[in-house]
A and B are shown apart, each in its own frame.
Chain A
């Protein structure tokens, strides 16, 4: 049976992981490679690395980091942050990323999605969608969640699928950082309306939040950052819990 995936997300700034990270057993938890290896060892199903600085000078450094990650870890990983062009994508895939995620640049120029899919295959195209509930409508936001655009979230997700995306990383901004649980509402709506996998993101605070989103929506994976980084929930504990709750996970 296909397993629901658990995905830790690492924010990268100047080649280092950001946010206070609480891994006692690591020599250097600020080193993305060390942290990635530890997550892989614990049973993470995939990893996502987001470069939050994402300037042109950093792009080369990021490719170097991706090469180091690819050399060390034995599970799939996705890289994103400020990717605008097919060349950016090509560099990261060549460096060893399995998938690349695009967000604002895909909204600005949707053909980027079909170009990526045509050149490298849909399997490596993850479109990240940041969404916020405004007056009863889930609206797409870009520029790190600062700017609303005219798209309604489910309609944009369908468009993204048609253009050739292989997966959607859906972040509810209403829930992100609240630790009050994933948005069942928009995660359910988007995963019902498209036929590609959806990664739920934003709001994870407890193990129950993961079972809730897996029970109540058709999402394929759930992503979280701080609860894993601070060691509040460990991946082996989370998976044991989900297994006990009859959610199919890789143990």
Chain B
């Protein structure tokens, strides 16, 4: 069973729909016990960092997430919350990835919205994926490139499209909305 972390963020149902299309059963839950029991955990998200982090802290879910030993996939805001700190509402985050989250400088359209390809990719999530493949992004804040970066993308500046540290994986883009390429990346995560 795949557990999808429920919190006050949008887009959660879309992740479940994508898993269903791939033939995987999932539950949407914020119960720490269910999260501990699941084979894998997906930490989705569209929303605002400050209120999302507040929701996690209030329920002690921050500690649960950090203590997970199974494969965890953060998506979009989920990935940003797995970093150290976000400029969005000056939010202290989970600190799983050694990177900070910053607002894009206003030299081009913000949010970075639409399909973009990779500058670099590495690791299990990108088996069968090439640099020319496009995935769907929508975000105004970006995670800086660090030792945890597993894929990069360029918009205004090069930033982390994906990160990994041990059993924690994450994508800034939305694999659940990225057509066949996104399905392949999700499938790669599900097969870890």
Contacts and interface: CB of A to CB of B under 8 A. Distances in A.
Contacts of B176: 74
Interface stretch (B9-17, B79-87, B90-98, B161-169): B9-17
A93 B20 CA distance: 19
A166 B116 CA distance: 18
Interface in B95-129: 106, 108-117
A166 B109 CA distance: 10
Nearest to A74: B179
Contact of A93 (B10, B18, B109): B10
Contact of B114 (A93, A120, A121, A220): A220
B136 A2 contact: no
Given A76-B136, A96-B13, A121 B47 contact: yes
Contacts of B134: 3, 250
Contacts of A221: 114
Contact of B117 (A1, A123, A218): A1
A75 B21 CA distance: 13
Interface string A120-137: 111110000000000000
A45 B10 contact: no
Contact-size category for B? 35 or more
A85 interface: no
Given A75-B179, A196-B110, A2 B21 contact: no
B180 interface: yes
A250 B179 CA distance: 11
Contacts of B20: 71
A120 B18 CA distance: 21
A187 to B, nearest CB: 14
A3 B114 contact: yes
Contacts of A96: 13-14, 17
B113 A123 contact: yes
Task: Summarize B's interface: helix, strand, loop or mixed.
Answer: mixed
Interface residues of A, number: 31
A127 to B, nearest CB: 14
Given A74-B183, A123-B138, A98 B114 contact: no
24 contacts: A1-B116, A1-B154, A2-B114, A3-B115, A3-B116, A40-B179, A71-B20, A74-B176, A75-B136, A75-B178, A95-B13, A98-B177, A120-B47, A121-B10, A121-B48, A122-B140, A123-B140, A124-B10, A195-B108, A195-B110, A196-B110, A197-B114, A220-B113, A250-B115
Interface of A: 1-3, 5, 40, 45, 70-72, 74-76, 93-96, 98, 120-124, 166-167, 195-197, 218, 220-221, 250
Given A2-B155, A70-B13, A98-B11, 18 more contacts: A2-B114, A2-B115, A3-B115, A71-B20, A74-B18, A74-B176, A75-B136, A75-B179, A76-B138, A76-B177, A95-B13, A96-B17, A121-B10, A123-B138, A167-B113, A197-B114, A250-B115, A250-B134
